[in-house]
Structure 1
Amino acid sequence: MKLSKGLAGIAIAALVLSGCGNSNGNNEGNGEKLKVVASFYPMVEFTKQVAGDHAEVVGLIPSGAEPHDWEPSPKDVAAIQDADLFVYNGMIEGWVEKTLESTKNEKRIVVRAIDGIELIEGSDEHEHEEEGHEEEGEHPLDPHVWLSPTLAQQEVRHIQAGLERADPDNKDNYKKNADAYIEKLKALDEKFKQDLSNSKHKEFITQHAAFGYLAKDYGLTQVPIAGLSPEQEPSPEEMAEVVAFAKEHEVKTIFFETLVDPKIAQTIADEIGAKTDVLNPLEGLTEEDMSKGLDYIKIMENNLAGLAKALNE
């Protein structure tokens, strides 16, 4: 993943912002809502659920955009500069480190929601890691923790703690909201356990390696066509390996995802006479998702329905 483009814009924005004088951060005591900026959809959704009516939560990455290669505009940098709280997942947002360095704000609270979570290795050796978070020669770690209903609970708790630090007067409300949302995530986890425990098959093929934590949670095997980044093109040899695996394990559904061209998944499906279906990595909502009123819980339930059907074919 290349991160050079847009960094000039960040630097320019930082220079402009340094003279603006509007970087007070916390709005405590002036009656305004807490200003919160979150990186991409899962972070926005989790933060809104915990914040309730006590904060204005703004998401950076727009609907329909794929977050792996997105970079902030000067306007986005300005929003991060002025935020009371900035929430990001970690590792998937390669622009964060430099952006935070260029937008110093002593009162701003930063939540890296992935912190403290035991991560698993991914399968894409070329996936970008944040600077300082990967030693040369190591396999990259998988950032897609939000797709595990259990690990999502930990991210929600981290966001709750950040909101409480930024706005201690509403600590009880943030805890109440977080508790309520975590109950929904626990119910989602139980539904996954119930619906997947007796599946005929345990292997599924998906477009990119986003579902490692989900597979680990429920005793499944994820076979990705691409690596941790959906833009990675598989080699002919890798394509042949996936086809061979699909035939050997009688896989009848190849999963593709929203926001990414499904042609590679379709090619494999055509090769083995399988059908395709959506397995949504929830990296961003499409306009269609929003028009249907879909959210994290509903899309995860849709993912479960698709998985359960495919694993019992």
Structure 2
Amino acid sequence: MNIRRSSLATTLVGAVALGLTTLTACSYSAGDGRTDGKLDVVASFYPMQFLAERIGGNKVNVSTLTKPGVEPHDLDISPQQTAKLSKAGLVVYLKGLQPAVDRAIGQAEPKQVADAASYTTLENHGTEVDGHDHEGDHGSDEGHEGHEGHEAHSGDAAADPHIWLDPVRYAEVAKGVGKALEKADPDHAALYEKNTATLVKQLNTLDKDFRGGLKGRTTDTFVTTHAAFGYLSERYGLHQEAISGLDPESEPSPARMRELHSIAKQDKVRTVFFEALVSDRTARTLAGDLHLRTDVLDPLEGIGESSRGDDYLQVMRSNLAALRKALGAV
């Protein structure tokens, strides 16, 4: 009798344990790219995270591969992160910006992928550090819309990936991410469509604010740490002069520094911009030599404690205020 009771107790305990395990597994992941009924979305870095969160709303769980304060160009992907990509319901990334992410996606083969580079046109904005082909020369007409002669495919190593800094292009990407969410989670397609429309409207307003806010400026030229602002410059008729090229960690040559001295004087540059995630040493040295102000122009590759705003829209408006002051539009 005792033996039967013991056996029965063991069976019951095993059944309960199995039930709890099953319940837990269902609660956290059903193996279909969902957790607790919400679509699991993995974003490569902040601008993709912002889109996924704004459009996905409360129907998605969004995580990011690039943690706050990490320079996204130099990101390394762990085996655990690669495994996470393979289980995601949707991966939102920008091909060509982070080689480690591109490789990890190739290995993980996630079910659904939204590549931001495929939703707009990438361009080659020239080599800002060689003294010959400077970005901005083709963007002298405010609100320039044409891209003839400057297009580059997303796989082109020379293509400028910083499309999110142009609100108009970013709105194009938002529409693409919205469609990708609808495809990955058709049950909530109406919500994603509605949220996309709201975000696109906000980005269109941001575009109008930049157009109006930069009128009456006394110079078109600004100097910044690395060449992140080519699309923004083209959109609003500005002229970016970068200390470094597209790689924020590259060091400028002595010839480039001498050239920047000449450009700053000739174009009546008032401010040398630096950014939070990259060393400001060279920018401050240049500003000191020329007795110019320094200020932050944020390429929005991440949001951290030093960011001038809590999200993309707030930081972009802080960038607008900084540009207005630097270019004499206030």
TM-score, normalised with respect to structure 1: 0.84
> Which consecutive unaligned segments of at least 5 residues does structure 1 have?
1-21
The answer on whether the counterparts of 2:92 and 2:115 sit within 8 Å (CA) in structure 1 is yes
What residue number does 1:310 align with?
326
Does 1:122 find its partner at 2:125?
yes
What does residue range 202-241 of structure 1 map to in structure 2 within 5 Å?
202-241=220-259
Q: Deviations over 1:286-313 (max 9, x none)?
A: 2343xx7611000000000000011008
Q: Which has the larger Rg?
A: 2
CA deviation after TM superposition for structure 1 residue 31, in Å: 6.0
Q: Deviations over 1:18-64 (max 9, x none)?
A: xxxx894444xx96100000000010011100000000010110000
The answer on whether the counterparts of 2:119 and 2:173 sit within 8 Å (CA) in structure 1 is no
What residue number does 1:176 align with?
194
CA RMSD between the two structures:
2.1
The structure 2 residue matched to 1:243, chosen from 261, 286, 292, is 261
What residue number does 1:98 align with?
103
What residue number does 1:276 align with?
294
Distance in 1 (CA, whole Å) between partners of 2:213 and 2:166 is 15
Distance in 2 (CA, whole Å) between partners of 1:168 and 1:196 is 41
The structure 2 residue matched to 1:77, chosen from 82, 88, 97, is 82
What residue number does 1:199 align with?
217
Does 1:43 find its partner at 2:44?
no
The answer on whether the counterparts of 2:128 and 2:244 sit within 8 Å (CA) in structure 1 is no
Q: Deviations over 1:226-281 (max 9, x none)?
A: 00010010011111111110011111100001101101101110111101000000
What residue number does 2:165 align with?
147
Cα gap change, 1:102 to 1:191, in 2 (>3 Å)? same
Q: Secondary structure at the match of 1:68?
A: helix
Amino acid across the alignment from 2:81: D
The structure 1 residue matched to 2:179, chosen from 151, 154, 161, is 161
What residue number does 2:155 align with?
133
Q: Secondary structure at the match of 1:255?
A: strand
Cα gap change, 1:125 to 1:299, in 2 (>3 Å)? closer
Distance in 2 (CA, whole Å) between partners of 1:197 and 1:109 is 42
Distance in 2 (CA, whole Å) between partners of 1:163 and 1:274 is 46
Cα gap change, 1:23 to 1:75, in 2 (>3 Å)? farther
Give me the identity figure in percent. 38
Q: Deviations over 1:114-155 (max 9, x none)?
A: 1142222134599xxxx9923xxxx70100000001011011
The answer on whether the counterparts of 2:118 and 2:154 sit within 8 Å (CA) in structure 1 is no
The answer on whether the counterparts of 1:26 and 1:166 sit within 8 Å (CA) in structure 2 is no
What residue number does 1:297 align with?
313
The answer on whether the counterparts of 1:125 and 1:140 sit within 8 Å (CA) in structure 2 is no
Q: Deviations over 1:61-96 (max 9, x none)?
A: 000000011111122112111101000022111123
TM-score, normalised with respect to structure 2: 0.80
The farther-off stretch of 280-289 and 50-59 is 280-289
Distance in 1 (CA, whole Å) between partners of 2:263 and 2:81 is 43
Q: Secondary structure at the match of 1:115?
A: helix
Distance in 1 (CA, whole Å) between partners of 2:165 and 2:58 is 26
The answer on whether the counterparts of 1:23 and 1:81 sit within 8 Å (CA) in structure 2 is no
Distance in 1 (CA, whole Å) between partners of 2:119 and 2:318 is 29
The structure 2 residue matched to 1:55, chosen from 36, 53, 60, is 60
Distance in 1 (CA, whole Å) between partners of 2:327 and 2:127 is 25
The answer on whether the counterparts of 2:128 and 2:241 sit within 8 Å (CA) in structure 1 is no
Greater than 4 Å deviation, 4+ residue runs: none
What residue number does 2:70 align with?
65
CA deviation after TM superposition for structure 1 residue 97, in Å: 3.1
The answer on whether the counterparts of 2:77 and 2:101 sit within 8 Å (CA) in structure 1 is no
The structure 1 residue matched to 2:115, chosen from 95, 112, 115, is 112
Distance in 2 (CA, whole Å) between partners of 1:171 and 1:180 is 14
Amino acid across the alignment from 1:309: K
Which is richer in helix? 2
The structure 2 residue matched to 1:252, chosen from 252, 261, 270, is 270
> Which consecutive unaligned segments of at least 5 residues does structure 2 have?
1-28, 130-152
Amino acid across the alignment from 2:287: A
Distance in 2 (CA, whole Å) between partners of 1:207 and 1:157 is 30
Q: Secondary structure at the match of 2:241?
A: strand
